[in-house]
Chain A
Amino acid sequence: MTDTLSTSQQHRNDDTPLLSVRDLRVTFHRSGEEPFVAVDGVSFDLRPGDTLGIVGESGSGKSVTSLAIMGLLPKRGVRVEGEVLYNGTNLLTLSPDQMRDRRGAELGMIFQDPLSSLNPVVPIGVQVTEVLERHRGMSRKAATPLAREMLDRVGIPDPDRRLKDYPHQLSGGMRQRALIAMALAAAPRVLIADEPTTALDVTIQAQILAVLKDLVEDTGTAMIMITHDLGVVAGLVDRVNVMYAGRVVEAAERHPLFADPRHPYTWGLLQSIPRLDGARGERLNPIPGSVSDNLPWTSACAFAPRCSQPIEVCTQRTPELVEDHGRSLRCFNPIQHGRPSPDADTTRGTSEVTR
């Protein structure tokens, strides 16, 4: 775990961000319905070799953020505002063709479900060479040895045979490895992994995370790891952005965040992970309610109805993201020293949701 930090700190000497997201805002418009703001003013920097975790539950806007960066959101009914600066170029203003040239070559992405993300009627080898043909201008023949090498690097045994295999002939873990091989074939400088381990079982999860970590360190690729599982990011990322209802509620370096979560949502996420060193028979503490209980950010804290320690102001004003000692926090009544503050009106928050 500690060597991750030291290696990435070497890369981090270069202080100009490779990818800089500024005030990203994604609005979905549907006819006859109120526009829905899925991502609301998200900003972060990613330096070469950095690994950033974006954590949040379903509907928090983490996947939409990644699709917006990649330019993969549908054009119709979606408005993307703000800036996504990659090496100084705003990706949001590029033409579709210019963006297409960058996808796969400069920005790679791995998806959640490895089976459905692979083309079922095309052999793995062809799917890997396709990327090289597209971005390196290679012939399929010339690209095949490289594709073989990629499969080998992501830990697929017997790559010569696997080149000719179809996706359904591979196991789940191997499929995800093949997807990683495709995403990294043209050596992109930024890799976005959108819940890459969700569809896999636990032992395979660990293997895939190890492969990602190794490859990212070897190649100096910057990575954005999107997940709902804090356990996944714990051993992998340098910095964590916790998102709730489209906004960043807490952002910090990995160690301070895990050791001393300040936002009640972050605290709740950590509390809901089972621990081996906990007392026997101890109950898990899930966060009550669901995203549907949210208040609108415009006039309150969206998390207030589910919060363990809401105070009066939480339902009256919008909390701002305040930066302090490298940590950004959006909360009126933060957690102090790892436990809920004693003056909180705890009964109110929970009773309102469990009704």
Chain B
Amino acid sequence: MPNPLNPRGKKERIDALAATSADTSGGGVAVATVDDAGHVEESTGVSLVASAWQRLRRNPVFLIGLTITTLFVLLAIFAPLIAPHDPADPILLPEVRPQTNPIPPAREGFPLGADNAGRDILSRLIVGSRQTLVVGVMATLFGLLGGLTLGTLAGAFGGWVDSVVMRVVDVMLSIPSLLLAFSIAAIAARASQWTVIIAIAVVQVPIFARLLRGSMLAQRASDHVLAARALGVKESAIVFRHMLPNSLGPVIVQSTLVVATSIIDAAALSFLGLGNPDDRQPEWGQMLGKAQPYIYDHPALAVWPALCIIVVALGFTLMGESLREALDPKSRR
């Protein structure tokens, strides 16, 4: 995880990532060939992806991450079927007494109890996973899109285009990422789920752009791009057929890690009230925020959503890190 308070460390880390994965295209393939040098002739193809999968399959860290994320995605998809109650329905409201009993405790049918509005916590957690998934995936997707565009521009044209794009990216990276996301979300006239998504996506753009630009530059200097030039291949084809596909590896790995960051950032924004104000649509960060007044007497109210955020973010991080390890020839044991 990049330290948001240390932008220089963040830049160095991105560049290091781009540098190691630049070797993946050449070095990674070379290693794969050495692995099956004995049966090169008859092998119908152990591609880089396939050989990475061979290693991942036996990696417990990856399997744990994969299990968590799969369960999470399934939970989000089938949330309305799994949730025992309507998350917006204040069923236990009659039992809420602001002075004596603000939070109805667990009981038959409500294993985690209800919140201060008498709504079932378990159902809210289950349905809340949908918002988390949508925000995490959409923010990553938009960030990826923006980063791909900027990174391709910088890496493909080089020269002054590269300088201009990268200075913009540097400025964005120099602002701590959460602060930038807060500012963008705060500018929006009406807080909603979309402002959260866009705020987080913008924060991810420079990371993706810098990463892609780094590996594009490595590709630009590579032998196969020179060989393509020697064949008179057009510049557009060199960029989109020869440079871009070979530069995507680290970006794809980074995406899985960014999903985790996005989920945490989204929770932070909602916690501070910059998310969707409508609490009939549950969201983990928002639940966390609403639990604040009761944190001393009823810590469970905050613990459950926090636990959900931690586990899901951990799942994506474990998956991303082991993916990176599998695709990086240097970290192979």
Chain B binds chain A: yes
Interface on A for B, CB 8 Å cutoff? 70, 72, 100-105, 108-109, 111, 113, 115-122, 130-131, 134-135, 165-171, 179, 182-183
Are A104 and B246 touching (Cβ within 8 A)? no
Are A121 and B245 touching (Cβ within 8 A)? yes
Are A169 and B40 touching (Cβ within 8 A)? yes
- A-side contacts of B29, CB under 8 Å: 115, 120, 167-168
Are B45 and A111 touching (Cβ within 8 A)? no
Q: Which residue in B226, B245, B246 is a CB contact (below 8 Å) of A72?
A: B226
Are A103 and B43 touching (Cβ within 8 A)? no
Question: Within 8 Å of chain A (Cβ to Cβ): is B210?
Answer: no
- B-side contacts of A122, CB under 8 Å: 241-242, 245
Q: Which residue in A70, A100, A130, A169 is a CB contact (below 8 Å) of B45?
A: A169
Question: Within 8 Å of chain A (Cβ to Cβ): is B56?
Answer: no
Are A108 and B230 touching (Cβ within 8 A)? yes
Question: Within 8 Å of chain A (Cβ to Cβ): is B163?
Answer: no
Query: Known: A115-B30, A121-B245, A168-B29. Is A104-B233 also a contact (CB below 8 A)?
Result: yes
- In angstroms, Cα B242 to Cα A130, docked, is 11
10 sampled A-B residue pairs with Cβ under 8 A = A72-B226, A103-B230, A104-B232, A109-B230, A119-B228, A120-B26, A130-B241, A134-B233, A134-B237, A169-B44
Query: Known: A168-B32, A168-B48, A171-B41. Is A118-B233 also a contact (CB below 8 A)?
Result: no
Are B25 and A120 touching (Cβ within 8 A)? yes
* 13 further A-B pairs in the complex, CB-CB below 8 A; given A119-B228, A119-B241: A101-B232, A102-B232, A104-B233, A115-B26, A118-B227, A121-B25, A134-B234, A166-B47, A168-B33, A168-B47, A169-B44, A179-B227, A183-B230
Are A70 and B241 touching (Cβ within 8 A)? no
Query: Known: A113-B223, A168-B47. Is A104-B245 also a contact (CB below 8 A)?
Result: no
Are B40 and A100 touching (Cβ within 8 A)? no
- A-side contacts of B44, CB under 8 Å: 169
- B-side contacts of A104, CB under 8 Å: 230-233
Are A103 and B229 touching (Cβ within 8 A)? yes
- B-side contacts of A70, CB under 8 Å: 230
Are B232 and A120 touching (Cβ within 8 A)? no
- In angstroms, Cα B229 to Cα A103, docked, is 8
Against A, the Cβ 8 Å flags (1 = close, 0 = not) of B92-106 are: 000000000000000
Q: Give the distance to chain B from A147, nearest Cβ to Cβ, in Å.
A: 13
Nearest A residue (CB) for B235: A100
Q: Give the distance to chain B from A285, nearest Cβ to Cβ, in Å.
A: 34
- In angstroms, Cα B224 to Cα A109, docked, is 12
**Residue total for B at the interface (Cβ-Cβ under 8 A):** 30
- B-side contacts of A100, CB under 8 Å: 232, 234
Question: Within 8 Å of chain A (Cβ to Cβ): is B222?
Answer: yes
Query: Known: A116-B26, A117-B224, A120-B246. Is A182-B48 also a contact (CB below 8 A)?
Result: no
- In angstroms, Cα B47 to Cα A92, docked, is 41
Q: Give the distance to chain B from A223, nearest Cβ to Cβ, in Å.
A: 15
Are B232 and A117 touching (Cβ within 8 A)? no
Are B224 and A103 touching (Cβ within 8 A)? no
- In angstroms, Cα B41 to Cα A171, docked, is 7
Are A111 and B40 touching (Cβ within 8 A)? no
- B-side contacts of A182, CB under 8 Å: 227, 231
Q: Give the distance to chain A from B3, nearest Cβ to Cβ, in Å.
A: 34
Against A, the Cβ 8 Å flags (1 = close, 0 = not) of B22-54 are: 000110011011000000110111011000000
Among B32, B230, B234, find the residue whose CB has the most chain A CB atoms closer than 10 A.
Answer: B230
Q: Which residue in A108, A113, A165, A169 is a CB contact (below 8 Å) of B231?
A: A108
- B-side contacts of A118, CB under 8 Å: 224, 227
- In angstroms, Cα B47 to Cα A110, docked, is 25
- In angstroms, Cα B63 to Cα A191, docked, is 52
Q: Which residue in B48, B227, B245 is a CB contact (below 8 Å) of A111?
A: B227
Are B231 and A103 touching (Cβ within 8 A)? yes
- In angstroms, Cα B234 to Cα A170, docked, is 26
Nearest B residue (CB) for A101: B232
Nearest B residue (CB) for A170: B40
- B-side contacts of A108, CB under 8 Å: 230-231
Q: Give the distance to chain B from A161, nearest Cβ to Cβ, in Å.
A: 9
- A-side contacts of B245, CB under 8 Å: 121-122
Q: Give the distance to chain B from A231, nearest Cβ to Cβ, in Å.
A: 25
Are A121 and B226 touching (Cβ within 8 A)? no
Are B230 and A120 touching (Cβ within 8 A)? no
Q: Which residue in A101, A103, A111 is a CB contact (below 8 Å) of B223?
A: A111
Query: Known: A166-B47, A167-B29, A170-B40. Is A119-B242 also a contact (CB below 8 A)?
Result: yes
Are A131 and B47 touching (Cβ within 8 A)? no
- In angstroms, Cα B33 to Cα A167, docked, is 10
- In angstroms, Cα B224 to Cα A168, docked, is 13
Are A169 and B230 touching (Cβ within 8 A)? no
- B-side contacts of A105, CB under 8 Å: 232
Are B25 and A134 touching (Cβ within 8 A)? no
- A-side contacts of B228, CB under 8 Å: 119, 130
Are A120 and B48 touching (Cβ within 8 A)? yes
- A-side contacts of B45, CB under 8 Å: 165-166, 169
Are B237 and A130 touching (Cβ within 8 A)? yes
Nearest B residue (CB) for A183: B231
- A-side contacts of B227, CB under 8 Å: 109, 111, 117-118, 179, 182
- A-side contacts of B30, CB under 8 Å: 115, 168
Are A119 and B47 touching (Cβ within 8 A)? no
Q: Give the distance to chain A from B46, nearest Cβ to Cβ, in Å.
A: 8
- In angstroms, Cα B230 to Cα A105, docked, is 10
Are A169 and B232 touching (Cβ within 8 A)? no
Nearest A residue (CB) for B222: A116
Q: Which residue in A120, A169, A170, A171 is a CB contact (below 8 Å) of B224?
A: A120
Nearest B residue (CB) for A102: B232
- B-side contacts of A119, CB under 8 Å: 224, 228, 241-242, 246
- A-side contacts of B26, CB under 8 Å: 115-116, 120
- In angstroms, Cα B29 to Cα A104, docked, is 26
Residues of B110-142 at the interface with A, using a CB-CB cut-off of 8 Å, are none
Among B26, B29, B48, B234, find the residue whose CB has the most chain A CB atoms closer than 10 A.
Answer: B29
